[in-house]
Amino acid sequence: MSVYNSKVIELATQIENIDNALEINDNLFGEAKKTSRICGSTIGLKISYNNKDNVVMDFSIDPKACALGQASAAILSRNLIGATPQEIFKARDDLRSMLKENGKPPEGRFWELRYLEAVADYPPRHASVMLAWEAACAIFDEMFAKE
């Protein structure tokens, strides 16, 4: 499978909630920006999280990344609302394992990350694929550190 297969290109054009005006209400709010030192790609992410229901209620994303980073961000954005922090951390860890340790692709809500499996053969591209996931997990790490 090619790194830039038709599904990756399609996903790269389907990022949801770019620069969305968040409805925070009584939810917890966090934001993070991650940058790849290798290619300069960046992903900014803001999340509104309902601690009571343990789910993401809303988000805004600002992707400035290559097609691979954008495809990965699109998969996150398509499935982020309603996701639990545990699902997001597991998807991030499974994605990292898929890229770096020949692990199985993520399953469940973020199963489409399998379309990025060919990136495993290109270590310099790993950072851009991980950006959105690292940003999301950084937000929850900071939120939970305050509790």
Q: Dump pLDDT digits (tens) for 78-97.
A: 999 999 999 999 999 999 99
Quote the number of domains for the chain. 1
Output 20 or 3, whichever has higher pLDDT. Answer: 3
Q: What is the CATH number of the domain that holds 94?
A: 3.90.1010.10
Whether 50 maps to a domain, the answer reads yes
The per-residue pLDDT for 105 is 94
Whether 109 maps to a domain, the answer reads yes
Whether 1 maps to a domain, the answer reads no
Asked whether the beta carbons of 9 and 68 are under 8 A apart, the reply is: no
The per-residue pLDDT for 2 is 79
Residue 1 clears pLDDT 90, i.e. is over it: no
Q: pTM for this structure?
A: 0.92
Q: What is the number of other CB atoms lying within 10 angstroms of the CB of residue 19?
A: 10
Q: Which domain holds residue 108?
A: 6-145
- Element spanning 59, H or E: strand 55-64
- Looking at the chain, the number of H-run helices and the number of E-run strands are 4, 3
Asked whether the beta carbons of 59 and 47 are under 8 A apart, the reply is: yes
Output 139 or 25, whichever has higher pLDDT. Answer: 139
